[in-house]
């Protein structure tokens, strides 16, 4: 058998570069918010599952929180139900909530579990309702204007925010070498189900678990400045300034809110990465350069 020395040296270089990161993150919890193109492209889906399994096998404790907006939208179209969004959030009536639970807690969650298990992992699928893990409350938007004497309260239906997280079940699964795969559905005090932004759940969960790192997967390279240049190492104060001057706006705000909440509550750093890159998670964790935007306290 002919040995390709050049190829072997490249592999050795990659492994040597990864070693200090394996040592640094061994035994540490890393929360990954999985969403965007990485959830719909077959090659990217398989690559993500391999990344998560490799992390587990080298001693890290990955915990995955996933979204599923496109899949929910497809299912709503099948039943001829139109989606309404207010400030980037889906208005969720009772019928829509039933579909959200079916898609997120069923179809999407079990597909991810199956992908990870096919790669040799031990994944367990959960929603925030399991074990009362995610206690939620209704999220109302307050809109102000010069024409209104008092702020207008907009009811989004079954859209919620995290009130608290009980990490007991997740900790037990991690201790037993399982990989938790979590759908962002919470339960209210009265038993009502709530659809919660996956970025916000990931941030709250990372803080609760005192994770070493939170990774947020997106469909862009990371945070961009007004000239579309990638912003890399940012402090929380830098991020506040970028929000104030309008550099960060719209759909990126929930991700940034999640990142800030995490770093203000004990998570060492947050990385916003481009999920359109194959093996984006491994590139971030195991290489000197990393990818995307790093946010720290």
pLDDT one-digit tens code per residue, 216-270: 998 888 888 888 899 988 998 999 999 999 898 877 888 888 899 999 999 999 9
pLDDT given for residue 249 in this prediction: 83
CA distance 94 to 106: 17
Per-domain boundaries in the chain? 26-296
pLDDT given for residue 155 in this prediction: 82
The pair of three-digit structure tokens given for residue 37, joined into one six-digit string: 């193109």
Kindly give, in sequence order, each residue whose CB lies less than 8 Å from that of residue 50, ignoring residues fewer than 6 positions away. 119, 279
Summarize the confidence of residues 27-33 as an average pLDDT.
Answer: 97
Residue 1: pLDDT over 70: no
Residue 145: pLDDT over 60: no
Q: Which residue from 235, 212, 225, 229 is spatially nearest to 284, judged by alpha carbons?
A: 212
Residue 289: pLDDT over 90: no
Summarize the confidence of residues 163-182 as an average pLDDT.
Answer: 96
Summarize the confidence of residues 279-285 as an average pLDDT.
Answer: 92
Q: What are the distances in angstroms from CA 289 to CA 44, 202, 233, 269, 270?
A: 21, 24, 12, 15, 15
Residue 21: pLDDT over 80: yes
The helix (run of H) or strand (run of E) holding residue 48 is helix 42-57
The CATH class of the 26-296 domain is: alpha beta
pLDDT given for residue 24 in this prediction: 92
Kindly give, in sequence order, each residue whose CB lies less than 8 Å from that of residue 61, ignoring residues fewer than 6 positions away. 27, 28, 29, 30, 174
CA distance 239 to 213: 18
The better pLDDT of the pair 70, 144 is held by 70
- DSSP 8-state class, residue 12: H
pLDDT given for residue 64 in this prediction: 98
Name beta bridge partners: 126.
Answer: 182
Residue 293: pLDDT over 80: yes
Q: How high does pLDDT run on average in the chain? A: 90
Which backbone phi and psi does 287 adopt, to 5 degrees? -115, 155
Summarize the confidence of residues 55-68 as an average pLDDT.
Answer: 96
Summarize the confidence of residues 160-185 as an average pLDDT.
Answer: 96
Q: What is the pLDDT of residues 87-130, one digit of tens each?
A: 667 889 999 999 999 999 999 999 999 999 999 999 999 999 99
């Amino acid at each position: 058998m002919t040995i390709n020395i050049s190829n072997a040296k490249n592999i050795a270089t990659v492994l040597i570069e990864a070693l200090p990161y394996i040592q640094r993150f061994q035994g540490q919890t890393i929360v990954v918010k999985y969403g965007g193109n990485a959830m719909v492209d077959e090659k990217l889906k398989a690559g993500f599952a391999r990344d998560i399994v490799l992390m587990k096998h080298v001693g890290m404790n990955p915990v995955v929180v996933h979204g599923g907006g496109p899949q929910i939208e497809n299912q709503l179209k099948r039943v001829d139900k139109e989606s309404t969004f207010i400030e980037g959030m889906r208005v969720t009536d009772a019928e829509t909530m039933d579909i959200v639970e079916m898609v997120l807690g069923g179809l999407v969650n079990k597909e991810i579990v199956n992908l990870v298990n096919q790669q040799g992992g031990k994944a367990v699928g959960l929603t925030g309702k399991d074990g009362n893990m995610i206690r939620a409350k209704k999220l109302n938007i307050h809109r102000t204007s010069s024409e209104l004497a008092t702020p207008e309260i907009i009811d989004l239906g079954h859209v919620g925010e995290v009130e608290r997280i009980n990490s007991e079940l997740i900790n037990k699964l991690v201790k037993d070498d399982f990989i938790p795969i979590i759908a962002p559905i919470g339960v209210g005090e009265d038993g009502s189900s709530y659809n919660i932004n996956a970025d916000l759940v990931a941030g709250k969960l990372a803080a609760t678990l005192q994770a070493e790192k939170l990774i947020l997967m997106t469909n862009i390279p990371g945070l961009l400045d007004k000239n579309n240049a990638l912003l890399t190492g940012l402090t929380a104060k830098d991020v506040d300034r970028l929000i104030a001057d309008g550099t960060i706006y719209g759909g990126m705000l929930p991700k940034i809110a999640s990142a800030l909440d995490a770093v203000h509550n004990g998570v060492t750093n947050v990385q916003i990465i481009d999920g359109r890159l194959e093996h984006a998670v491994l590139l971030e964790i195991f290489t000197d350069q990393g990818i995307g935007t790093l946010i720290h306290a």
